[in-house]
Amino acid sequence: MKGSNIAKLASSMTAIAAGCPSEGLRDESRYVIVADLRMGDGGSKDELAKARKAIFAILGKWYLPRGYTLVLNGDIEDLRRFWLKDILAAWPEMYALFDSFKEKGRLRKIVGERDLPLLRLRSYPYELSQGLRLDVQKSFLLVFHGHQASPPFVGRDYLSDYMVHWLGSSKRSKAEAEEEDRGERFKAERRLYRASSRLGIVAIQGHTRRPLFESRTNRDSIRAEVERLLHEGDPREGDSKLDELIAIYRRELRKGGRRSLPSGPSYDERNLVSPCLFSPGRVVGAKTQGARGLRMLEIEDGSLSLVRWGSARSVAAGPPRILEGTPYARFLTRAAPIQGLFERIDLLAPKGDGL
């Protein structure tokens, strides 16, 4: 890991934070953050198409009437694979939903590497930015896509659309491309973690496409909780919480397979993990059907939460919140008070150049 890359990324994040829209985060503030919709032409190669009904119902029937601000954190349109005119024609109801948030002053749209060319359009209907800063007392949360942590974007905030398309093309096989991409994604996560830790901020990214909470994957979080219970004791009588968590951990291991990405704590094995990096992950994966596994980050009542939307019949550790009139339910995965995050970051993060 080259220190120069971390310094370049930290400098880029500093510039984004200084130049992007900023908003004060209050106790009554409500945000929902999604990334990597990758809207296409609605055909068989459009990976969001299979979750069309679910994503539209969840955003339109849950978050819009409850006063949430919708933050679209990059790669919303997939302009590497589809023409914008075809995307607009395939998703009129989604753009109408975006319009509804916009009319209420509650739409924030951030660009990623797949929709960077939108910055050059004069007729695009939504205001675009490189990030969103949410101020909290003496610090802030920086919501940005995070492609700035991957080549060729390290040290650059924008490349021409020609260069983006050229760099995205390759004669590699699909398997080779996916394997290389997985390795690069972890490197990007590690850069994002170290830059955010150095700056002492909470960074919310979407580029690496796997859910992270407090710089940990779900597997890491479960393992840490298991270790805590082994040390402090299981508070339950009868049904063991420890047994339940171990069962979930085993499922996570099977889900990851042999080619899973490294775990979060290996970002920096010399120090305790700073809770500075978050990601909702990609909203829907290529193999996802319907609403199973739709993931989002929420900010509400001074807390940051990772939630999963799935079938109302799903088995979950906690009680779901049913979206009436639909087969979907919201499950809370992780939650933490934002002020507590900054207190822990201040204690754990290595001291570096602040913003």
Q: Are residues 18 and 102 in the same domain?
A: yes
300 domain-assigned: yes
Domain hosting 237: range is 219-260
Does residue 302 share a domain with residue 182?
yes
Whether 268 maps to a domain, the answer reads no
Angle at the Cα of 97 (from 320 to 110), degrees rounded to 5? 90
pLDDT of residue 291: 45
Return the percentage of the chain with pLDDT > 70, whole number.
Answer: 68
pLDDT at 31 over 80: yes
Of 63, 124, 131, the closest CA to residue 283 belongs to 63
296 within 8 A of 30, measured Cβ to Cβ: no
pLDDT per residue as tens digits for the range 72-120: 999 999 988 899 999 999 999 999 999 999 999 999 999 998 888 898 8
Same domain, 194 and 342: yes
Q: Which of 196, 229, 260 is the last residue of a domain?
A: 260
Task: Please give the pLDDT value at position 354.
Answer: 39
Higher per-residue confidence, 27 vs 234 = 27
Whether 208 and 223 share a structural domain: no
pLDDT at 216 exceeding the cut of 70 = yes
- pLDDT band (50, 70, 90) for residue 181: low
Counted domains in the chain: 2
Check if the beta carbon of residue 222 is closer than 8 Å to that of residue 250: no
Q: Note whether 223 and 213 are same-domain residues.
A: no
pLDDT at 126 over 90: yes
Burial degree of 217 (CB within 10 A; 0-12, 13-18, 19+):
buried
Nearest alpha-carbon partner for 197 in 142, 134, 130, 131:
142
173 falls in which pLDDT band (50, 70, 90)?
very low
Same domain flag for 18 and 110 = yes
More confident residue, 21 or 262: 21
Q: Which of 1-5, 50-54, 243-247 has the lowest mean pLDDT?
A: 243-247
Give the pLDDT band of residue 290 (cuts 50, 70, 90): very low
Average pLDDT, the chain: 78
Distances (CA, A) of 326 to 60, 297, 329, 342: 12, 21, 8, 37
Amino acid at position 133, single letter: R
Q: Alpha-carbon distance 268 to 286, whole Å?
A: 30
- pLDDT tier, 174 (very low <50, low <70, confident <90, very high otherwise): very low
Among 172, 176, 248, residue whose Cα is nearest residue 217:
248
Q: Where are the alpha helices (DSSP H) in 146-285?
A: 161-168, 174-199, 218-232, 241-256
Residue with tokens 């198409």: 49
Q: Give 65: exposed, middle or buried? Use CB within 10 Å, 0-12, 13-18, 19+.
A: exposed
Distance, CA of 210 to CA of 285 (rounded, Å): 10
Nearest to 153 by CA among 124, 111, 122, 123: 111
For residues 51 and 61, give the distance between their C-alpha atoms in angstroms, rounded to a whole number: 15
H helix and E strand count, the chain = 9, 13
Rounded to whole angstroms, the Cα distance separating 69 from 63 reads 8
150 has pLDDT over 70: yes
Is 355 within a domain? no
As a whole number, mean pLDDT of residues 137-147 equals: 90
Tokens of residue 346, six digits = 């201040």
Residues 211 and 237 reside in one and the same domain: no
Instruction: Identify the pLDDT of residue 114.
Output: 87
pLDDT at 35 exceeding the cut of 60: yes
What are φ and ψ of residue 273, in 5° steps? -75, 125
In this predicted structure, what is the pLDDT of residue 271?
58
